[in-house]
A and B are shown apart, each in its own frame.
Chain A
Amino acid sequence: MAEVAETAQPLLERATADELKHYYYQMLLLRRFEERAGEMYVKAKIGGYCHLNLGEEATIVGLMAALTPDDYIFTNYREHGYIIARGVPPGPVMAELFGKETGVSGGRGGSMHLFDRKTNFMGGYAIVGGQVPLAVGAAYALRYQGKPGVVIAQMGDGTTNIGAFYESLNLAKLWKCPVLFFIVNNGYGMGTSVEAGSSEPDLWKKGASFRVYGERVDGTDVLAVRDVVRRLRARAEAEGEPAIIDAVSFRFRGHSVIDSDRYRDPESVRRGRELYDPIRKFATLLLDHNIVDEAWLKGVAERVEREVQEAIDFANNSPDPKFEDLYKYMYATPVPNTPTAEDAIRAVKINHGEF
């Protein structure tokens, strides 16, 4: 992992004890949610692709701690943790992974396409780089309408090699869009290391030719992430100044649940999980400062276990989307000569051999 600067400010000046405890709870919730999602995938409750946030909890919780309700978030397809940390209950998120009507996208999106209108969580997108211009567009709209807030364009390190990223940097700077390019740099785009894919491995520098400021942060340090986002967020909102945040973290597992991770040395992965586990680090920090004790940590673990189990139960007990609703969300403005619920039912019957 790349080196980042340390900060020397006393802990309780940086956050209240309640805030610190809440960050810990959120990180553990994401950890347990993802571990159980991995299990549910193996049990075939979850289909398609399933990318977990394991190891990236501090990056996510730190980011969300710095945002306000006015802000908007666009992410890539590794986004379960983001929508939960933004405030959506785990139940509807797990239900979406299960493809249920009660899921956050009505079962139409799945793991890679979570969305929540109420919290301005503007979607997970699964074409690398696709969400980046969209986020700039949302920031453009905020500026056009004179509204407060900023937009987060979350992406992985591999996204910094695609053209859409560069067009987005140019347009964001040119049009003074309040957007933060938030790179979760876990060192690998699938199986390709940052060094193998990027002629400039210091990803925070990649805005230089667009005059977009960039900064690297330890993505395993929840407070460091929160503070850099807060600072650059304020400037983006006040001055329409976009920025790159290069949050360095360690991916605990393969690219997705089905990736056996053969391209990384198993010993280095084992060591990485020990060295760069943001939750273990944070627990040690809280214990060392006598902010929590072992009993409190155990209580949080039990609470999280229960909440994730409730999410799984909710998903299991939720109804599937109805066949007659197959075409329900085709258009926002209905037009003639489009397929109907009856067409859907007829096609599904034939598909099921009922003729």
Chain B
Amino acid sequence: MPVITYRQALNDTLGEELARDPNVLLMGEEIGVFQGSYRVTEGLLAEFGPKRVVDTPIAEEGFVGVAIGAAMLGLRPVVEIMTINFILVAIDQIVNHASKIHYMFGGQVSVPLVIRTPSGGTGQLAATHSQSFENWFAYCPGLKVVAPATPYDAKGLLRAAIRDDDPVIFIESLALYDTKGEVPEDDDYVVPIGIAEVKRQGTDVTVVSYSRMTAVALQVAQRMEQEGISVEVVDLRSLRPLDRPTIIESVKKTNRAVVIAEDWYSYGVTAEIAATIQEEAFDYLDAPVQRVAGLEVPLPYAKELSAASKPNANSLIYAIRQVLRGTKRLR
């Protein structure tokens, strides 16, 4: 099976979907002539022309609204928001309009829209360019929110999102764009929205994660294997709908859980997962659920302060050790 980058998987999928359906079009800032701030749309303007690959002015509220209105008339826009930080100026259109139009009008119209955007922080991007807001959208009924961790899932979920008749927020990650993985050729697979995946089987502890933190969790699991600790990694893939049964099934097996996400600790994704586990698997837990998340500051620029504020492999290893304390694995 060919090994390609996460970025390439996205780029290939966008091209294939543009070729497959004339109602699919891409919109966003710098996606055409500039070929994408993170080169996800590279080459697509040359191949499909300016009708299908639309450079927009810096007007997120305006062009996200335009995309929603166009979707209501049958187009299938795939919008790129340069980073999730800029989505805040379009949030009225997404939360008050896209998410509600199908329901509020009694199912008479749908909004087949995808909004792709990288979330999270790397490389000293400082306070306003390093945030994680996927939980804001996952909070909102009517939206679907997906966050693939691998090139395979990136392709399968993007296909599913573009072919879905509802608004889908598609979370990417700057740190994942250059990661590599196997992706089958000539295979029109989709990864279903709303289904998590056990990315690695284990018996001692369940780590629940998504997007870049799944990549971290898989590395940590491999390292801890050498210490004789068997870590199961549940990759959520979708934040809404949330695949609670897969999380619960895993925790019932391992009896211990650590949840890791890049967003801020309070009211973040980890809080929802931890609450789900205590509601549905309380009697199976041998230790309190551990949560690993971002420190609650506007992310500082200074290199060491910045890095120290985001969860990493060390913070996950620490949490795993905490949750395993007192067991024969870890005395």
| A residues apposed to B, CB below 8 Å | 72, 74, 103-109, 113, 115-117, 122-123, 125, 127, 130, 132-142, 144-145, 163-164, 167-168, 170-171, 174-175, 328-333, 335-338
Any chain A CB within 8 A of the CB of B108?
yes
Interface residues of B in 213-259 (CB under 8 A from A): 238, 241-245
How far in angstroms is the closest Cβ of chain A from B240? Answer: 9
Any chain A CB within 8 A of the CB of B12?
no
Complex: chain A residue closest to B109, CB-CB? A117
- What 1/0 mask marks residues of chain B from 94 to 108 whose CB sits below 8 Å from any chain A CB? 001100011111111
**B interface size (C-beta, 8 A):** 52
Interface residues of B in 181-219 (CB under 8 A from A): 192-195
How far in angstroms is the closest Cβ of chain A from B30? Answer: 16
Any chain A CB within 8 A of the CB of B67?
yes
Any chain A CB within 8 A of the CB of B57?
yes
Complex: chain B residue closest to A165, CB-CB? B62
How far in angstroms is the closest Cβ of chain B from A64? Answer: 20
Interface residues of B in 51-94 (CB under 8 A from A): 51, 56-57, 59, 61-75, 92-93
Whether A106 contacts B107 by the Cβ 8 Å rule is yes
Q: In the bound complex, how far is the Cα of B106 from the Cα of A330, in angstroms?
A: 9
Given contacts A332-B166, A335-B193, contact A74 B107 (CB under 8 A): no
Q: In the bound complex, how far is the Cα of B73 from the Cα of A142, in angstroms?
A: 8
Given contacts A105-B105, A329-B107, contact A168 B241 (CB under 8 A): no
How far in angstroms is the closest Cβ of chain B from A213? Answer: 19
Q: In the bound complex, how far is the Cα of B70 from the Cα of A142, in angstroms?
A: 8
Whether B103 contacts A144 by the Cβ 8 Å rule is no
Whether B105 contacts A337 by the Cβ 8 Å rule is no
Whether B51 contacts A144 by the Cβ 8 Å rule is yes
Given contacts A115-B106, A130-B65, contact A122 B242 (CB under 8 A): no
Q: Which 9 A-B pairs have the closest CB atoms?
A: A137-B69, A133-B65, A167-B62, A106-B106, A332-B110, A134-B69, A141-B73, A115-B105, A332-B165
Partner of A137, one of B57, B71, B107, B144: B71
Whether B107 contacts A328 by the Cβ 8 Å rule is yes
Whether A141 contacts B105 by the Cβ 8 Å rule is no
How far in angstroms is the closest Cβ of chain B from A41? Answer: 20
Q: In the bound complex, how far is the Cα of B112 from the Cα of A122, in angstroms?
A: 16
Partner of A144, one of B75, B106, B142, B165: B75
Q: In the bound complex, how far is the Cα of B165 from the Cα of A339, in angstroms?
A: 18
What is the total of A-B residue contacts with beta carbons within 8 Å? 168
Whether B102 contacts A329 by the Cβ 8 Å rule is yes
Complex: chain B residue closest to A163, CB-CB? B61
Whether A140 contacts B103 by the Cβ 8 Å rule is no
Q: Report chain A residues within 8 Å CB of B195.
A: 336-337
Q: Can you give 5 contacting A-B residue pairs, CB < 8 Å? A: A115-B106, A134-B68, A140-B66, A141-B75, A171-B62
Partner of A170, one of B62, B68, B73, B96: B62
Q: Report chain A residues within 8 Å CB of B69.
A: 74, 133-141
Whether B194 contacts A122 by the Cβ 8 Å rule is no
Given contacts A105-B104, A330-B141, contact A138 B109 (CB under 8 A): no
Any chain A CB within 8 A of the CB of B316?
no
Any chain A CB within 8 A of the CB of B164?
yes
- What 1/0 mask marks residues of chain B from 101 to 131 whose CB sits below 8 Å from any chain A CB? 1111111111110000000000000000000
Extra contacts besides A167-B61, A330-B142 (10): CB < 8 Å? A113-B105, A136-B66, A141-B74, A145-B73, A332-B110, A333-B110, A333-B164, A335-B194, A337-B243, A338-B194
Q: Report chain A residues within 8 Å CB of B238.
A: 337
How far in angstroms is the closest Cβ of chain B from A113? Answer: 5
Partner of A130, one of B57, B72, B92: B92
Whether A123 contacts B101 by the Cβ 8 Å rule is yes
Q: In the bound complex, how far is the Cα of B106 from the Cα of A171, in angstroms?
A: 30
Any chain A CB within 8 A of the CB of B25?
yes
How far in angstroms is the closest Cβ of chain B from A197? Answer: 19
Q: Report chain A residues within 8 Å CB of B107.
A: 106, 328-329, 332
Q: Report chain A residues within 8 Å CB of B193.
A: 335
Whether A337 contacts B92 by the Cβ 8 Å rule is no
Q: Report chain B residues within 8 Å CB of A170.
A: 57, 59, 62
Partner of B65, one of A103, A117, A168, A332: A168
Q: In the bound complex, how far is the Cα of B108 from the Cα of A162, in angstroms?
A: 28
Complex: chain A residue closest to B51, CB-CB? A144
Q: In the bound complex, how far is the Cα of B57 from the Cα of A135, in angstroms?
A: 18
Q: Report chain A residues within 8 Å CB of B71.
A: 137
Q: Report chain A residues within 8 Å CB of B65.
A: 130, 132-134, 136-137, 164, 167-168
How far in angstroms is the closest Cβ of chain A from B94? Answer: 11
Q: In the bound complex, how far is the Cα of B93 from the Cα of A103, in angstroms?
A: 25
Partner of B63, one of A105, A108, A109, A171: A171
How far in angstroms is the closest Cβ of chain B from A211? Answer: 14
Q: Report chain B residues within 8 Å CB of A107.
A: 106
Whether B96 contacts A130 by the Cβ 8 Å rule is yes
Q: Report chain A residues within 8 Å CB of B62.
A: 133, 136, 164, 167-168, 170-171
Q: In the bound complex, how far is the Cα of B106 from the Cα of A103, in angstroms?
A: 9
Whether A108 contacts B72 by the Cβ 8 Å rule is no
- Considering residues A107, A127, A137, which has the most beta carbons from chain B within 10 angstroms of its beta carbon? A137
Complex: chain A residue closest to B242, CB-CB? A337
Complex: chain B residue closest to A151, CB-CB? B69
Q: In the bound complex, how far is the Cα of B108 from the Cα of A107, in angstroms?
A: 12
Q: In the bound complex, how far is the Cα of B241 from the Cα of A137, in angstroms?
A: 27
Partner of A109, one of B51, B104, B165: B104
Complex: chain A residue closest to B71, CB-CB? A137
Whether A117 contacts B108 by the Cβ 8 Å rule is yes
- What 1/0 mask marks residues of chain B from 247 to 291 whose CB sits below 8 Å from any chain A CB? 000000000000000000000000000000000000000000000
Given contacts A335-B192, A336-B195, contact A145 B66 (CB under 8 A): no
Q: Report chain A residues within 8 Å CB of B241.
A: 335-338
Whether B96 contacts A337 by the Cβ 8 Å rule is no
Q: In the bound complex, how far is the Cα of B238 from the Cα of A132, in angstroms?
A: 31
Interface residues of B in 1-49 (CB under 8 A from A): 25
Q: In the bound complex, how far is the Cα of B75 from the Cα of A137, in angstroms?
A: 10
